[in-house]
Structures are given as C-alpha cells and as structure tokens.
Amino acid sequence: MAYRKTKHPGVSCFRRGGSLIAEWRNPRTGLYESESLTAKGFRTKAEAMKWLKDTSNELRLVKLAIELGVDEPPAPPVVPVGLLLSEVVELYLEDYAVNRLPGLVKRQRERLKAFIDYARNAELYRLPGPQFRPVRITEFRDHLSRLNKVVSKGKKKVRTRELLSGGAKNSYLRTTRAFLSWARMRDHMQLSRDDIADRLPSFRTERKLPKALDASQLVALMKAAIELDGQLNHGSRKDKSAYYTGKPSASASSTYEPLAPMLLTLILTGMRRGEVLHLKWSDVDLDAKRIFVRNDDAQKHKVKTRRERCIPLDDSPALLQLLSAMAVRRGRSKYVIAGRTPSQPKNFKYQAWERMTKKAKCTGVSPKDLRSTFSTCAAAAIRGPQPLYLAARMGHALEVAHRHYVALGVRRDGDLVEQWLGVEQEVWLALEELGFAPGGSSRRWAQ
C-alpha cells in the first residue's frame, strides 16, 4: 500500500514489466485489486496523478459508507451559490489584518487584484459556485505568466510591456494560495487542498547574487544625503528679501526631511530598513556598546526571521559617535530615527530615497543593497568576523552567509566596520558636516 504521506493514500503506483501499475485494497472484499495505467494511456506517474487521487477519494468514500452501515457512499454536499467574490476577498482581508500593519494589508490587496481581475474576465462572480472548477486555477496561473509589470507615473499606474519577474509572480501565487486555502476552510469554495497546491506551483526563478556597492558609491550617497538635508527654503511672503535674492534667511526651514542619519545607520549596521526605522532608544545600550534588534509590538512590526539579535558597537567608533550625538538631541522621541511625533517611527518615503539616489547617480540602489554591501565587505575582510558571528549579527542562517556573501566583497584589512567598507575617512567627514562629531580636522572628501 502507499504511504500515508502520499497525495493518493490507499493507492500504490509502481512499474512491473515495463507497465505502470496501480494497486489498492478493496474495502468491501479485503482483496487487492490492480489496473494497468499504461493501458489507460498514462506513461508516467505524474500524468496519472489525477486518476490516482480520484481513485483514492472513491476508496475513502467507500470506507466511510462501510463505517456508516450504508450501501452507497455518501454524495458530496451540494453547496449553494453564496457571496460575491469581492465580498469573500474583503472578509479574508479583515481576517488577515488582525495584528498586522496596514501596509501589509494594502500589499495583500494589491496582489489579490490580479486574481480578482482574472475571475471577472472569466465570469467567476460568486463563491462557492459550480463554475469555479480546479481547471480555472490552472488558467489563472497561465494568465499570471503573461501578466506585464505595472509602474507608477505620478498618481497613475501604467502597465508596461515588460513581463513580471519570477519573484513577483511567485508573490502573487503565494497570496492567491493563502486566499484560496482560507476560503476552502470556511466553505466558500469546493476545492480540495491538493487542487490548490498542485495547480498553483511556484515559478522557477534564477537566484541572483546580492548587489554590493563599492566605496565610491557609498561616498556619493553620503554626499548627496548631506547636501539634500542642508537645503533650505528660499523665503516666503514674510521674507521677500530672501525670495528675491535667493539666499535663505536665518529662520528658513529645511526643504526636505533629514535622510542622512538613517543612511549612515543603514551603512554601518547592515540592518534592514524596517529594523532601523523601528529601532528604539530603549534597545540601544551605549554603555555596553550594543544594539538589540527586537519586535516593535506597539507598531505591529516583527523582525523578518523572528530572530531578535544583538549588534555590537565596539567595532564601529563612527556608529557609536553617531548614536551618542543623536541621543543628546533626541528630545522626547522613542525612536532613534525620529518621526513626526515622539511615539511614531519615521515613515519611509520612496520619493525622498529616489531623489537621493538620483543625485548620487546611483539610480536603482535600495536599502537592501546597503545590507548586502555590509555583509559582503564584512565577510571578505581579512580580519572580519567569523561566518557564525556574521550570520548571527545579520539575522541569517549560516548557510546563507556561506552561499551568498563570502566571495563578492573586496578583501580589506582592518578591525573596524568603516575600514571593511573602505569609507573610514568619509564617514567621519560626514559626521562632522552633520554636526555629530567635532570639526576642525584635516579630512577632505575624495575627488
């Protein structure tokens, strides 16, 4: 007999004399029966999988009839036509939103829009419904494979001619599988678990190496952030002289919200963007020289790998100086990167980040690339941390640190993070220009 963990329990499949044979035990007679799958036109087990599952389900119903003491197996329940598909989606999102950030719910809604659009074009309006068959799920996967990428142009979203990447298509599939499983468990759908799993397999994607920036790109980003943070508004109605002369007055406000402190923290710690934004002063121990990366329960922020970890500060004097200076100016803010209110973290604005990367001529660089840069430089450093300590510091598994980051960085000597990155002088110069370190040194930006 087949093992219980197979997708067709009670039915075994094997080859005998070049023929594919299916064998099972008749629940009524107790005798084994077999049938040639090759005679049915199946060449492989994969081709016969649907037949094997159907036979397994028939045997299960016969066993149930024997247990109930009836002659015929019970017919599957007829589920009446129920709610609209859009209503079921809203119920799912309400359930999904429990203990989750609004941004995650918004992302889930956007990914489900592809399935809703397909269902509308296929005239699948209600769940459950007789027209919603397993073959429709396969058609949705084929529809997703031909879907083009959507980009934002101002307030509008325009679909381009470029196809979705494999990772994007798999994210749509994960969301759709989660929704269909939720709907199946709540009797909104007449699909089985195998129908969902077998007909929505993930797309095969090419795993690319992480992107690592060189020292010149890091310096360009720091210079751009400092320059943008220092821009001031050129007067107002109350200060017409500054407006006409183009010279900001002493009371002029900043044009943009400060971005350089967050950028420096990302570069020197290798933390994720969300971890930096949700870093609290209560998790920073300047005396012991360490940072604790923890969940932010008040803002419903969870560490990605569910691993709270500790980051040392004794190997980065520039980071220690930055945090010490920011602690003096923090005021009532609970967060290291202060938001608009003391109890709220800073909101990450893609427009501000793109403005900085465009000015630095590093278009396409994301905060994740800074994390990859830190990992590669630390892994390649001659006197850098051991792979086990680096994996614990980054919140990675050990095999991830071995597989991705060992052979990409430039081998530099030194005991400090700034030396591993190759920007020791430039980081201190950035701190001086931002007022986080005493000036008067002979440091100058590299040309």
Q: What pLDDT sits at residue 439?
A: 66
* 376 lies in the same domain as 239: yes
- C-alpha 357, offset from chain centre: 22
Domain for residue 161, yes or no?
Answer: yes
H or E segment at 370?
helix 367-380
Query: What is the Cα–Cα distance from 68 to 70, expressed in whole angstroms?
Result: 6
φ/ψ bin of 289: left (φ > 0), alpha (ψ from -120 to 50), beta (otherwise)? left
* 347 lies in the same domain as 223: yes
* 178 lies in the same domain as 291: no
Write down which residue in 199, 228, 243 finishes a domain: 199
Name the packing angle between helices 134-145 and 102-121 (round to 10°). Answer: 110
**Which residues span the domain enclosing 37?**
11-68
Domain for residue 372, yes or no?
Answer: yes
* 380 lies in the same domain as 424: yes
Query: What is the Cα–Cα distance from 422 to 426, expressed in whole angstroms?
Result: 9
Give, as one character, the DSSP assignment of residue 122.
T
* 124 lies in the same domain as 228: no
Domain for residue 442, yes or no?
Answer: no
SS (H, E, C) 180-198: HHHHHHCCCCCCCHHHHHH
User: Distance from first CA to last CA of the chain, Å, rounded?
Assistant: 74
Is residue 421 within 8 Å of residue 213, measured between CB atoms? no
CATH code where residue 95 lies = 1.10.150.130
Close Cβ partners of 53 (under 8 Å, ≥ 6 residues apart): 7, 8, 194
Q: What pLDDT sits at residue 442?
A: 52
Q: What pLDDT sits at residue 4?
A: 46
Q: Residue written as tokens 């660089």?
A: 365
- Is the pTM higher than 0.75? The answer reads no
* 124 lies in the same domain as 52: no
DSSP 373-416: HHHHHHHH-TT---HHHHHHHHT--HHHHHHHSTTTS-----SS
Write down which residue in 170, 199, 228 finishes a domain: 199
Q: What pLDDT sits at residue 125?
A: 64
What is each CA distance from 404 to 121, 159, 212, 334, in whole angstroms? 42, 33, 11, 35
Domain for residue 210, yes or no?
Answer: no
Domain for residue 447, yes or no?
Answer: no
User: What are the φ/ψ torsions at residue 21 (nearest 5 degrees)?
Assistant: -115, 140
Q: What pLDDT sits at residue 130?
A: 55
Query: What is the Cα–Cα distance from 345 to 348, expressed in whole angstroms?
Result: 9
Query: Quick count: other Cβ atoms within 10 Å of Cβ 67?
Result: 9
Domain for residue 440, yes or no?
Answer: no
* 225 lies in the same domain as 368: yes
Rg (CA), the chain: 30
The residues of the chain scoring below 70 in pLDDT are 1-6, 72-82, 125-132, 154-155, 234-241, 243, 246, 248, 250-251, 400-409, 439-447
* 25 lies in the same domain as 112: no
Is residue 313 within 8 Å of residue 319, measured between CB atoms? yes
* 260 lies in the same domain as 179: no
Is residue 325 within 8 Å of residue 336, measured between CB atoms? no
* 227 lies in the same domain as 321: yes
> How many domains are contained in the chain?
3
* 138 lies in the same domain as 252: no
Q: What pLDDT sits at residue 216?
A: 92
Domain for residue 76, yes or no?
Answer: no
Write down which residue in 68, 94, 109 finishes a domain: 68
* SS3 state at 441: coil
Domain for residue 390, yes or no?
Answer: yes
Question: What are the helix (H) ranges across 69-212?
Answer: 85-96, 102-121, 134-145, 166-185, 193-199
What is each CA distance from 193 to 93, 177, 353, 379, in whole angstroms? 20, 10, 42, 43
The pLDDT tens digits of the residues spanning 357-415 come to: 999 999 889 999 999 889 888 888 888 888 888 888 888 877 766 666 665 667 788 88
* 236 lies in the same domain as 337: yes
Single-letter amino acid, residue 257: E
CATH code where residue 265 lies = 1.10.443
